[in-house]
Structure 1
Amino acid sequence: VLLVWMTLAGQSLFGLSPMVYLLLLGLAIGPQLLGHTAFNWAIKYLSATFVTVAILGEPIGSTVMAVLMLDQPLQPLQILGGMVLLLGIGVATLAERQRPAAVAEIAEVEAVVAP
C-alpha cells in the first residue's frame, strides 16, 4: 500500500543512503528474528498464557527505553497507563498460578462424586 502511495505521490523509493537501508533491514529482521525466537523458547518453559500476557509489557519496556535513550518526557496519562498495564499483568500472572490448583481441586471433586 505504501509503495503504491509513494509512486502516486511521485516520491522516490531509493532516495536514502545505503546505510539507512541497511539499518532499516536490521530493524526489520533483528526484532522479528530475536523476538519470535525468544517467545518460542519461552513457551517451552512457561505456559502460553503467561508468555502472551508478558508480551503486553512491551510498551512499558519501549517507554523506559525512550525515556532513557531519547530523553522523552513521560506524561501523566502514560504513567497511569503503564500502572494499569502492570496491574493487569500481575493479576493475570496470579490467576495463572492459582489455576492449576483449582483444576486439581475440581478433578478431586469429580473423582469423589463419580461412581
Structure 2
Amino acid sequence: MPARAEPGPLQRALDWANGHLDLPHSLDTLAARAAMSRRSFTRHFRRHTGTTVSQWLLGQRLALVQRLLETTDQPVERIAERAGFGTPLSMRQHFAAAFDTTPSAYRREFRGR
C-alpha cells in the first residue's frame, strides 16, 4: 500500500480553521496560516473547494451547528459561540436561510426520529 501523502499548506490551514471555528477568520489570516500570498491562497482555495472563503466558513459553521444540535443539549447561545457566530441571532438567521427552519425546530425534528 502506498504511503499517504501529507496534506499541503492549504489543507493544513483549512483543517486548523475547521478545528477553531469559534475564532474569527479572514482570507488574510488563513493565507498567512498557509504561508501563501492572498492572491495565491485565493486561487488555490477556489480550485480546492469551489467556493469563497466566507462561503466555506459559513458552511463549516452551519455543519458544526447541525452536529451540536443533533448530539448535545447545549443551549443555542452556547452553540452559536462554539460555531463562531457573533450572536445567537446571527446563527439563527443563517441557519434559517440555509435550512428553512429554526435551530430549535431542527433539534426537535432530529430528536423526534
TM-score > 0.5, shorter chain as reference: no
Q: Which has the larger radius of gyration?
A: 1
Query: TM-score, normalization: structure 2?
Result: 0.28
The structure where helix makes up a greater share of residues is 1
Q: Compute the TM-score of the two structures, normalised by the length of structure 1.
A: 0.28
